[in-house]
Structure 1
Amino acid sequence: MERNYNVFEKNKTSLWILFILSIVFLAIGAWTSAYESMLVAASTLILTLIALQKKDSLYIPPLFIVLLTAVMILVQISNRLGSGFEVLDIASDVLIGMFTCILGLMMLLAILRSSPEFDMEHPFFISFSAFCIGTAVSLFLVMVNFWIEELSGGSENALRSFIVSMTFSMLGSLVTAAAFYFNRHNGLFEHTLNRFIKDNADVLGVQDRAKKEIIKEIEEGESSKLEFKSTLRTNLKTGEKDPRMERAVLKTIVAFLNSRGGTLLIGVADDGTILGVDLASFENSKDKFGLHLNNLIKTQIGSEFLPFLSFTMVDFDDKSVMRVACQISDRPVFLTDGKEQIFYVRSGPSTIDLHGMELLYYANHNFGKNLKKHSP
């Protein structure tokens, strides 16, 4: 309850910061006739007021606030310095494109998160859609700004300014969409978009949809594309940390990557009983649990395979289940065991290892041309 209260307070704080910034820049924009800044500030003010009316507050990523502030400051400076500083106009247009594209990504991920692995399987669709949303919103802002200037007297270079603004706004959206496509699981996006979805899970209904998805999977039972694991590293019989538990989880992940993909539910017994993940061995921290699993995959499978995996922690009252959605890998995946590297695949509801000619035949048959592409 205390943690939820802290998250609620953090969300409220971020919204109030946006609210105050919007009013300040709206007033400054009106005073200096910086219409573009006024449009961005007014749009943000309306969205913030709507969010503040909700019972559960939305968490706004700091990057979003920083970009918004940078856009409005640049527009103000550019407006004060005049047309001799075109580089500032270009910079503000690029930032507007980035800002609107991130807004598009937040909207898309919030909607599509009902299928936890969707963003892993359709990165191009999401990147392209976010680019389109960013371009459309930028077009609206630039077009309204164009007509305000026209009606208030205009300038000889109004049309040129319109085209230049749209060109660089689209460039900003394109750069952001491309960055998301190539680096969606790490760095900046990990701490902005993924944090946005995680901290707003209840508000966006993500948790409810994810719970229904997991319950449905449990009812279907284990199969070639679904497996349950009771624990990540604690042996439930002895209560002690046991490396064999970790290896069992990693074996399943490798097998899914090498086969047709699949879903691993950690914290669910073989009979479908929800036990919850062993958070006690991670100081009751979900973040530490996720970090440990991530490090295991990096060191024993390979960080290059993280883009094929999607992790979702779902709460069931006082218990939590980790859902690991695995895509099909485009190359053979091995599990490192000391000096050995072992190749696992799925065979019905079981995981088996392949050696010798079986391994060669399977790799050639399933990965074909990609073997040469990824060979050292």
Structure 2
Amino acid sequence: MPVSPAMAEDLATEVARLYDDAQAALLERLAAALEADIQSPRWAELKLAAVGNLRTAVEEIANVLQQDTNGAVRRALIEAYNRGRQSAVAELGALDIGRELAARQTLPNAPAVDRLAASMADDTRPVYARITRAIVDVYRRIVSGPAGNVLLGAATRRQASQRALNAFAQRGVTGFVDRAGRSWDMASYAEMAVRSVTARAAVEGHVDALAEIGVGLVMVSDAPLECPLCERWEGEVLTLTGPPGPQTMLAEHAAPPEEPRRGLLRRRPPTPPVVVHIAGSLIEARAAGLFHPNCRHSLAAYLPGVSTRPPHHATPGTTYEDTQRQRAIERHIRRWKREQAAAMDEAARRRAGAYVRKWQKAAREHVAAHPDLRRKPTREQIGAAR
């Protein structure tokens, strides 16, 4: 069967959960640190004296997060790579080359997995370095700002602290910029990176398996609700090893020369070479945006004379902009869930919870109005990619 980023999407769930838990723990630790001794007129003095305790607690959370994530990522990469390879076996299973591939060992390509794991580590290393600094910085700003004024009553100090916490919960730990120049918060950035690298592992497992048996061409699916980045590659043939740019080539017909008939083999008549129009290379297409996070496209082996152009998926009444509206609603849900996690009292928690329910209702109504859309509750959790 064809390979697609969606094949490995569920593998990012464990890592996303780790970041969800870590972000919630960080917000709760920050709120608890500010809440302690808030009735005391020496509150600001006590808070600044305790900053070392907060830093130690945050560093412990960050270190555990990094260790757990590294193990989860490697497990996800191995599974994604094997899924991609097995998809090639399933796709070509009815052909001799498919049976040949199925008979080979399916152990993951260790160098490929190591390379992807190293890439993931490089992409997320800034996350762990920034966590402690961001939490301690916002703590100092709250304590040193209006909330720390000795003339404020405890209730007013609580309100000022809560406003600052809400603002921080909305943003999260920010300042992470991907290769396309887009800005992310910590959890969304890490979850996006994991989803991207596991999708790459699945595609590489598929492509490596095809290369082993001499299949050098692949074809991109025609996915519904495609984005502008991918539209130009829909239904096109790409080369795995050839040069970039469009080209036309003559290829040998991929159908076997013999076919069974009543227990005998019948020789096919000679078939002329097949004219194949190639849109570019797979490397070129991926560099231009194909298989970006949330990409709906898949990749299949292209066998000259056998493969046909994929059918177009019509989506009447639903547009790409409708999918982006769904993403915006999901961001609102995550924003208010972060405020709920950072609440210092029951009133603030109830207010944030009301907004969570409001945007969850909007999500249900939007999906109901567009049958081609599907609601994904995991995308409404704190830390999900935006």
The TM-score by the shorter chain falls in which range? under 0.3
Q: Which has the higher contact order (CA 8 A, sep 6+)?
A: 2
Give the TM-score, by structure 1 length. 0.25
Larger radius of gyration: 2
Greater fraction of residues in helix: 1
Give the TM-score, by structure 2 length. 0.25
